[in-house]
């Protein structure tokens, strides 16, 4: 009997002393998928991005790709700049940024910040397309093409934690210096907005960002249970099942599943 008591006490001690297993994210995103950009002329914008920014044309006039990352242009009669929005800019990476800057200028892009070298990081600059989308152009040979999405928020650490808790991602430092989350090859970064309150993304140039998920309906149900605002309930267009939710700072997020 004493032996059994000792065995029980030992087992109970192990149960109490064993560290708790950390919970995973509410939804485990498969990968970063797309960005929707609002423009006055989607077909022209797509052609411009292909000709001057090096994108690949998609299967429809309003679609382009940088690698596997999709950009869809959405028509609006009153484009509003991304600067000042919670989705401040996207980042594109090139092998020779100096040469590529000539293409940007030839296409009529506004050079917001000329190229500057950042030792230990990479050369970078900022441009704005013809419709108000701010783009950070970088020379990162380790990751060419679509590079990152950069948010402007009141508390970057809290924002990154929210995305990791809700959608997973790998917490890491870009070049060992900049905190972010990595989804496949795409970085999600966040910078402080200071005293300014950035505008929600829905009506601005960069309308939303999107993740592939295993099941849209289940993802929305789980996120709702976590208090996440749903702006568009799950629905389908052809083989695409999608929904829209919103983060606490006003970023519009698409959840998408490509059905067979």
Query: Which domains, from first to last, does the chain contain?
Result: 31-258 (3.10.180.10)
Mean pLDDT per block of 10 residues along the chain (260 residues) reads 40 35 84 98 98 98 98 95 98 98 97 96 98 98 98 98 98 97 98 94 98 98 98 97 98 94
**DSSP 3-state of 57:** strand
d(CA 102, CA 137): 12
**Residue 39 backbone dihedrals phi, psi, to 5 degrees:** -140, 165
Residues 152, 191 contacting (CB under 8 angstroms): yes
Residues 97, 88 contacting (CB under 8 angstroms): no
pLDDT tens digits, 195-241: 899 999 999 999 999 999 999 999 999 999 999 999 999 999 999 99
d(CA 169, CA 164): 6
d(CA 49, CA 68): 15
For residue 34, CA distances in Å to 92, 97, 116, 225, 254 come to: 14, 23, 28, 25, 9
pLDDT recorded at residue 260: 80
- Report the greatest alpha carbon distance in the chain: 88
């Amino acid at each position: 009997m004493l032996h059994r008591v000792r065995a029980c006490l030992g087992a109970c001690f192990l149960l109490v002393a064993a560290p708790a297993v950390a919970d995973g994210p509410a939804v485990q995103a498969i990968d970063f998928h797309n960005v929707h950009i609002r423009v006055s002329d989607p077909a022209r914008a797509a052609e411009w991005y292909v000709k001057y920014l090096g994108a690949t044309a998609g299967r429809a006039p309003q679609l382009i790709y940088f690698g596997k990352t999709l950009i869809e242009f959405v028509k609006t009669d009153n484009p509003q700049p991304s600067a000042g929005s919670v989705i401040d800019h996207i980042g594109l990476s090139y092998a020779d940024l100096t040469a590529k800057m000539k293409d940007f200028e030839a296409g009529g892009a506004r050079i917001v910040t000329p190229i500057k070298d950042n030792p230990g990081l990479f050369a970078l600059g900022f441009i704005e397309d013809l419709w108000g989308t701010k783009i950070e152009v970088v020379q990162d040979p380790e990751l060419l093409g679509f590079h990152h999405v950069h948010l402007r928020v009141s508390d970057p650490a809290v924002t990154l934690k929210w995305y990791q808790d809700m959608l997973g991602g790998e917490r890491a430092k870009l070049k060992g210096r900049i905190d972010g989350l990595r989804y496949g090859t795409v970085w999600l970064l966040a910078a402080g907005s200071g005293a300014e309150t950035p505008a929600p993304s829905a009506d601005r140039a960069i309308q939303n960002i999107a993740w592939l998920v295993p099941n849209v309906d289940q993802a929305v149900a789980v996120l709702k249970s976590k208090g996440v605002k749903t702006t568009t309930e799950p629905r389908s267009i052809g083989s695409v099942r999608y929904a829209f939710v919103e983060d606490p700072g006003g970023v519009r997020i698409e959840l998408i599943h490509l059905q067979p």
